[in-house]
A = this chain, B = another copy of it.
């Protein structure tokens, strides 16, 4: 790989001048500029982002970190798509890390990201009070949280109105005539699991239905826990007539169990899922779902992050997007 020095030598100038034409600052003679540009072409020179990054924290290295909990979950994939698209448009590359809901892994990735000297970070933190992350924020790293917040910290947050989203889903089930509605939740530690439970409870209450503990099950936010917890619910002496599932993967798992038991949806058991997917209409049956604007979340996050990089002093924003109930035939 040719270096700036090589270019300078070939063009018969100093590296400073090369740097000037590269970054387009400072005056430089048209003739020398041409010479240098030719040398760059000839040598197929490409500036080293690494050296640039090392040199000055002050200048943008055009590298963003993204740290997400679970790439298996199509919701996060969509968020990622949004992030990737807008980052690309703004000339940022992305270093993507997936911690699979594993806190140890998250910590390692945070350290790596830090030591890669990224310009900013988009993260869905494992815990709302992650100490390492909080420290990084305090140390001045621009951070935007998605899907989950970070307590007592100076970060922008992009999320969705989980309470209302869950409320709408459960209320819709009740209005459709279902009486015993279960909720299969994700990890207890994740705020959205709790917020969705809150919405669930509110809907019951608003319709005068008593809350029953046995109808709410917390799992680990993955496919398998959807399978198993649904199994548990259906085995109840007094099983539910409808299920509200806490995320994409759980929905798919629950569906699997229901199909295995040859139950009809929605006649035997209705289901409404949190998170819509592009192919939810091709599921059996087409799934009624609470749609989060995942791509939009990703884009907004990048937007806020770039703003913060450019102006670290600007006060923080909490952006709450709305969910939308997509009515199909599973309920």
By a beta-carbon cutoff of 8 Å, the part of chain A in contact with chain B is 1, 46-51, 53-54, 63, 71-72, 74, 77, 80-81, 84, 88, 93-98, 105, 108-109, 111-112, 114-117, 139, 223, 252, 255-256, 259, 278-279, 281-286
Contacts and interface: CB of A to CB of B under 8 A. Distances in A.
B48 A115 contact: yes
A77 to B, nearest CB: 6
A261 to B, nearest CB: 13
Counting every copy of the chain, the complex holds 2
Q: Nearest 7 CB-CB pairs, A to B? A: A284-B284, A96-B96, A255-B282, A252-B279, A49-B115, A95-B95, A93-B112
Contacts of A54: 48, 50-51, 54
B112 A49 contact: yes
Contacts of A71: 77, 80-81, 84
A95 B98 contact: no
Contact of A279 (B46, B105, B255): B255
Contacts of A51: 54
Nearest to A52: B115
8 contacts: A50-B54, A63-B116, A71-B81, A72-B81, A72-B278, A223-B278, A256-B282, A283-B284
Given A51-B54, A77-B72, A46 B283 contact: no
A306 to B, nearest CB: 17
Nearest to A115: B49
A48 B51 CA distance: 12
A239 to B, nearest CB: 20
Given A94-B96, A283-B284, A116 B278 contact: no
Contacts of A81: 71-72, 98
B94 A1 contact: no
Contacts of A279: 223, 252, 255-256, 283
Contacts of A94: 95-97
Given A47-B115, A284-B285, 17 more contacts: A1-B139, A48-B54, A49-B112, A50-B50, A50-B117, A71-B84, A72-B278, A88-B105, A93-B97, A93-B109, A95-B95, A223-B278, A223-B279, A255-B282, A256-B281, A282-B283, A282-B284
A93 B95 contact: yes
Nearest to A46: B115
B282 A116 contact: no
Given A71-B84, A72-B81, A252 B46 contact: no
Nearest to A85: B100
A116 B50 contact: yes
Contacts of A116: 49-50, 63, 93
Nearest to A285: B284
